[in-house]
């Protein structure tokens, strides 16, 4: 009987705690338009990614480049992260 009463009390507490909602935070501001995001965030980050690795074959031979140091690879990763997070910004309501 004691165990059953404990289960009933525990179930009531769990049920009561599920009913409370977290307070809503302040609304997001979308002051920057799509064109500004594209020009100032996406385009520079994309240029960094596209220019990070490449090969040119011409009459003088083959030239290949890629990031070689940890700092260069960090810049490429930051560009990729910028593009990914900007996609989230572009999907926000109000754009």
Sign (positive or negative) of CA dihedral 7, 12, 15, 17: negative
Q: Name the pTM for this structure.
A: 0.64
Domain residue ranges of the chain, discontinuous segments joined by +: 2-90
Q: For 25-62, what is each residue's pLDDT tens digit?
A: 778 888 889 999 999 999 999 999 999 999 999 999 99
Distances from the Cα of 55 to the Cαs of 5, 25, 71, in angstroms?
Answer: 74, 49, 21
């Amino acid at each position: 009987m004691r165990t059953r009463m404990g289960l009933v009390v525990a179930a009531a507490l769990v049920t009561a705690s599920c009913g409370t909602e977290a307070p809503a935070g302040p609304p997001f501001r979308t002051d920057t338009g799509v064109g500004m995001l594209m020009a100032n965030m996406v385009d520079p980050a994309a240029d960094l990614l596209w220019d990070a690795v490449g090969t040119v074959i011409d009459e003088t031979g083959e030239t290949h480049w890629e990031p070689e140091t940890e700092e260069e690879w960090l810049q490429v990763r930051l560009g990729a992260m910028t593009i990914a997070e900007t996609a989230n910004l572009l999907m926000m309501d109000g754009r």
